[in-house]
Amino acid sequence: MQDAEIPMEFAPRHAQISEDTEPPINRRFGRREVAKRVFAKEYRESNLTFKESDDQYAPLYLLTPTGAKCNRVFIVGTLTEKEDIGAGAEFWRARVVDPTGAFTIYAGQYQPEATRALAEIEPPQFVAVAGKVSVYDPGDGKITSIRPESISVIDAESRDIWIMETARHTLERISTIGSEDPDAKKAVEHYSPDREYYKQMVLMALMSMTDKPAEEKDSDKGGFDVIDLSKI
């Protein structure tokens, strides 16, 4: 996955077109997609998009190399930079960095809550972002970004909890590689993912935690299982 940005002249129109499809999706399909937890490295390496029906308003999914079928994502990291690239109206491009890499997010008039948050938050700060996947294909490879629905400032402990939860979800997906799980099968056919490569990504994330080694992290607040680093 190339480390490129969506061209500035494309971004505002792209966000408007994508957002305009959201109300019919909610009405027609009657459910809100679960936000998946993925690390930046895996998200940026993802390029398989598909819909599950021919309906023009059917949700667009991005399938990651470990088999996460994403329409919405929940990510946490450090807001390291932001820029208002709008011409005549606010349109923010921002970079959110987790221990494995960086997410790019775009927010404008169709994401009012996120736009207000980006205008007010001064980097660097830990933030939590929930939003829709966005994929742009300039012809030489797909570029992923996130269209945020909400952005909130969080503390270091909350960031560590997200790392633990995302690590656990990722390891669970890695364990299905080679199984009959339909998303895992589709991911294997498209990406031929290397289990060890993504396990090392998880280990990198866990070792970045601020307070304690990941295997000792208290699970009271997050409700997650302890991860034994020796078994990764």
Kindly state the average pLDDT of the residues 191-204: 96
Whether 198 is covered by a domain: the verdict is yes
Its pTM stands at 0.80
Tell whether 177 is covered by a domain: yes
Q: Residue 106's domain spans which residues?
A: 11-155
Given a contact cutoff of 8 angstroms between Cβ atoms, the answer to whether 165 and 176 are in contact is: no
Evaluate whether residue 202 is within a structural domain: yes
- Could you tell me if residue 229 is inside a domain? no
Residue 143 and residue 207 share a domain: no
Closest CA to 108 of 206, 16, 205: 16
131 with 105: CB under 8 angstroms?
yes
Task: Report percent pLDDT > 70 for the chain.
Answer: 77
- Our count of domains for the chain comes to 2
Helix, strand, coil distribution of the chain in percent, nearest 5 = 35, 25, 40
Q: What is the mean pLDDT of residues 162-169?
A: 96
Name residue, tokens 């029906």. 53
pLDDT in tens, 121-130: 999 999 999 9
Question: Quick one: 117 and 30 in the same domain?
Answer: yes
**Which of 224, 130, 104 is CA-nearest to residue 171?**
224
Domain end: 131, 155, 179, which one?
Answer: 155
Last residue of a domain, one of 155, 180, 208: 155
Q: Residue 94 domain-assigned?
A: yes
Question: Do 129 and 171 share a domain, yes or no?
Answer: no
